[in-house]
Structure 1
Amino acid sequence: MAEPLATPTSNPTLLPSRTRNLAEQVVAWVNEQIATRSLKPGDKLPTESSLMSQLGVSRTVVREAISRLQAMSVIETRHGIGSFVLEPRREPLDIEVVPASTLSDVLSVLELRISLETECAGLAAQRAGERDLASIRGALEAIGEATRTGGDSAAADLQFHVAVARATGNRYFVDILTQMGAALIPRHRIDSAGIAKTDPQAYAELVNREHESIFDAIARHDPEGARAAMRMHLSSSRERLRRAAAAAGERGGV
């Protein structure tokens, strides 16, 4: 049941604390709908009456939440029409990323990716829609084509990992992976197969099977399976290179 209507005010600090707390919950609910792609840029927000009924809050709470979402540039309200979800603001992250050029660099990047992309895969499995799955599948096909023709699959590999990140609905995963760029998939600087003393074709096929396992878990909406597949993929890459480095000794600039 909705709470009793409170007297509207334009000053949030004068609102009763219960109203402010409920407004925060409505804001969080809308942001969650956007993160999970239930609401997309350009979509119209439910009406005030619908939000009141669905969330069990008063009109005052809904209007306060709408005001906050407007201030956050999450939505815009068009007079007489309604409120609409805006495209997320893209502000570059202040991260200086130096492309990996040594085995030590590559191992450090993989260590970071294990922590970041494991959770990324789990969230993707929970939230991925048909369009997301098609995007991930398209990246896999591009990797396969590059492998068959002997081309450079690094760009398609990056596309695959970014597509998984995009399927989370959380733009910060995408921003981080995109900004990392060349440091993320450093094959043009590091001959991974050569260092691991593995036939390049066999190495590529092994990596592609690991990618397929990640996709399969995401497609069947299995978060734990997706996390395990991504962790195995990145941990295996790190271990293959670590063993090769231990056997041959790291070179200062491969």
Structure 2
Amino acid sequence: MTPVFQTLTPGARLSDRMADALETEIRAGRLAPGTKLPTEVAMTEQFAVSRTVVREAVSQLKSRGLIDSRQGSGMYVRDAGFAPLSFDARHAGSRAAVVQIVEVRRALETEVAGLAAQRRQPGDMARIVASIGKLADAVRGGGDGVAEDVAFHRAIAEAARNPFLLETLQYLGQFLTGATRVTRANEARRLDFAAQVADEHDRIVSAIEMGDATAARLAASGHMDNAIRRIEQADPAFWAQEGEALARPLIKR
């Protein structure tokens, strides 16, 4: 049976919307594995779009691993498996997107800090303390401290001794590093912001070192709350120029 698709109304990029519509059909099972997609001409008519839009949408589906091209035969649906985690790039350059990514960090890193306080070993503490020292050295040397900040939080995650949490943070690394780049650029513009960040990091380290899981969670959560507040307080000039430019490449489909 030939699938019937709705035409697309104007709005976001038509190729994105067409690819999303086809992915929905595939994941819902209405386009089963092995099903041949309609021809390019048929899809231009059914979706009421140009051939260029169809080709771009098909290219996206290939990159998502949802269809295969068989020479001389056409496009066929693959077994979709689990839906990968994906993000919409259209809002990546907004202040709200950066705040939302920091909210993800808060949810994860609050628990990571608590577990690190409960499970850290002497070697873990040595790595955490060394990483915070490298961050301070980088800032004193005129660097942005982004890589060192990320390494500091990774050292805490390793001390939590939960491979699933660590893998999740690694998987989200592109987005978390991008958000860190924005927050640190903003914080570097004001001495009071920079001092707050250093103090917040020290509080997290102290709580982990004391083995106080409750204090560690509160310190980590407060650090992320304050990061959000500092982004919200960023002066318009920062966001109109450097902030937006740094945020735009956060998410790439």
CA distance in 1, matches of 2:143, 2:237: 27
What amino acid maps onto 1:157 in structure 2? D
User: Per-residue displacement from partner, 1:206-229 (whole Å, max 9, x unpaired)?
Assistant: 212211110100000000000010
> How has the CA–CA distance of structure 1 residues 169 and 204 changed in structure 2, closer, same or farther, with 3 Å as cutoff?
same
Query: Any gaps of 5 or more consecutive residues in structure 2?
Result: 1-82, 246-253
Percent identity of the aligned residues? 33
**Contact 2:113 / 2:216 at 8 angstroms: preserved in 1?**
yes
RMSD value over aligned CA atoms?
A: 2.9
Q: Given the alignment of the two structures, is residue 227 of structure 1 paired with residue 217 of structure 2, yes or no?
A: yes
Q: Is the 8 A contact 1:158 1:185 kept in 2?
A: yes
Q: Distance in 2 between matches of 1:221 and 1:244?
A: 35
Q: Deviations over 1:32-65 (max 9, x none)?
A: xxxxxxxxxxxxxxxxxxxxxxxxxxxxxxxxxx
Distance 1:161 1:188 in 2: 11
Aligned AA for 1:223?
A
Structure 1 distance, partners of 2:140, 2:100, is 30
The match for 1:177 is 169
Aligned residues: 159
CA distance in 1, matches of 2:112, 2:184: 24
Q: Please show how residues 95-244 of structure 1 align to structure 2 within 5 Å.
A: 95-96=85-86, 101-186=93-178, 190=182, 192-194=184-186, 198-199=189-190, 201-244=191-234
Task: Output the amino acid matched with 1:239.
Answer: R
What per-residue deviation string (whole Å, max 9, x for no partner) do you get for residues 51-91 of structure 1? xxxxxxxxxxxxxxxxxxxxxxxxxxxxxxxxxxxxxxxxx
Aligned twin of 2:249: none
Structure having the higher helix fraction is 2
| Structure-2 change in CA distance of 1:97 and 1:164 (3 Å) | farther
2: distance between equivalents of 1:188 and 1:227?
A: 19
SS in 2 for 1:244: coil
The amino acid of 1:106's aligned partner reads V
Q: Secondary structure at the match of 2:182?
A: coil
Displacement of 1:204: 2.8
Once the two structures are TM-superposed, the CA of residue 189 in structure 1 deviates from its matched residue by 5.4
> How far did 1:155 drift?
0.6
* TM-score, normalised relative to structure 2: 0.55
Query: So what's the TM-score if we normalise by structure 1?
Result: 0.55
Which amino acid counterpart does residue 129 of structure 1 have in structure 2? Q
Cα contact 1:124–1:168 (8 A) shared by 2: yes
* Deviation at residue 103 of structure 1 after TM alignment: 1.6
